[in-house]
Amino acid sequence: MGLIARPEPGGVVRGEADVSPDSWVTTRLDFLVNWARANSLWPMPFGTACCAIEFMATAASRYDLARFGMERLSYSPRQADVLLCAGRVPYKLAPVIRRIYQQMPQPKWVIAMGACASTGGMFDNYSMVQGIDTIIPVDVYVPGCPPRPEGLMYGILMLQEKVKQERLRDRALRREMEPDPESQLYIPASAINELSEPFGNSVHQTRSGL
């Protein structure tokens, strides 16, 4: 129960009150469904750069993603649960990741692995998307450049926790976000510009003024 707020295109935030009480049946059902979902999240590895190599190392023998039920990598988005964006996403690749995300059926989650997928990383320039959350909704951000396999696994466990806290009655969680038809943006342009601003004083340390 409580107020669940979802931002809509145009920046309007509307709340939905979850008014019906949980019963024993729904709680058990939630537990069962979430347990099944969390422990067999089939990732769709959208691996672009160095993080993809660390993802492969996480899937290999030493760190072994199979323990989390994630060894079945699905390169077809139609059969995947988690879009694992591992690596930097330039603007040329933006429509691709948007299309892949839209092709995934609900329930779906997104892990932004690495600094570049989370915020653009060390690539604050004309060609790089400053974080894939400007294009698609992200559930878990895993920092690192590249994150160690342990870091990625921590992020995956965090996602599993998030999955386990979902409620079936909460329809808002599984509603597909529609982009603004004219601009194709999910979040308002001002929000995108704000998210993409250079962070803190990191830019000025080089005295290049840029």
Partner 1 sequence: MPPRAFQPYAAGSAVADAEAPRTPVNVPHRGGPANPSAAALRAAFGEDVVRRVDVVWGETTVYVEASRAADVVRWLKEDAGQRYDYLVDVTAVEYREPERPIEVVWHLRSLPFRRFLRLKAELDKAAPLEVPSVVALHRSADWLEREVYDMFGVRFEGHPDLRRILMWETYREGHPLRKDFPLRGRFSRAEQLRQALRTEPEAHYSMEEITVAEAFAHLPADMRARLGAGPKGGPAEQAGVE
Partner 2 sequence: MATTKRTVEVALSTNGLDRDGRPQRVPLVTDAGGNVLTMEAPAALEPELEGEHMLINIGPQHPATHGVLRLVLELDGETVVRCVPHIGYLHSGFEKMGEYRQYNQIIPWTDREDYLNSPGNNVAFALGAERLFGVECTERAKVLRVIAMELSRIMSHLVWMGTTAVDIGAFTPFLWTFQERENIYNLLEGWVGARLTTSMTRVGGMAADLPDGWTDGLRKFLRGFPATLEESDRMLTKNGIWVGRTVGLGAMNAEEALHYGLSGPMARASGVAYDVRKDFPYLDYETYDFDVPVGTNGDVYDRYLVRLEEMRESVRILEQALARLPEGPINVDDPRLVLPPKHKAQSEMESMIHHFKLVMEGPRPPVGECYVPVESSKGEKGYYFVSDGTAKPVRWRIRPPAFVNLSAIPKMVEGHLLSDVIVINASIDIVMGEIDR
> Contact residues for partner 2 (CB under 8 A)?
46-50, 52-54, 56-57, 60-62, 73, 75, 87-88, 90, 92-93, 96-97, 100, 122-123, 125-128, 145-146, 148, 206-208, 210
Interaction site with partner 1 (CB under 8 A)? 76, 91-92, 94-96, 98-100, 103, 124-127, 129-130, 134-135, 183-185, 189-190, 192-193, 195-196, 210
Shorter beta-carbon distance to partner 1: residue 9 or 69 = 9
Instruction: Select from partner 2, partner 1, none the partner in contact with residue 57, using the beta carbon and a kind-dependent cut-off of 5 to 8 Å.
Output: partner 2
Which 8-state DSSP code applies to residue 76?
A: S
Shorter beta-carbon distance to partner 2: residue 99 or 175 = 99
Q: How far is the CB of 103 from partner 2 (least distance, A)?
A: 10
- What amino acid occupies position 19? V
Shorter beta-carbon distance to partner 1: residue 120 or 155 = 120
CA atoms within 13 A on the CB side of 32: 6
Distance CA 48, CA 116 (A): 10
User: Do residues 145 and 113 lie in contact, with contact meaning Cβ atoms separated by under 8 Å?
Assistant: no
User: Do residues 135 and 179 lie in contact, with contact meaning Cβ atoms separated by under 8 Å?
Assistant: no
**199 — phi, psi (to 5°)?**
-90, 130
Distance CA 2, CA 70 (A): 32
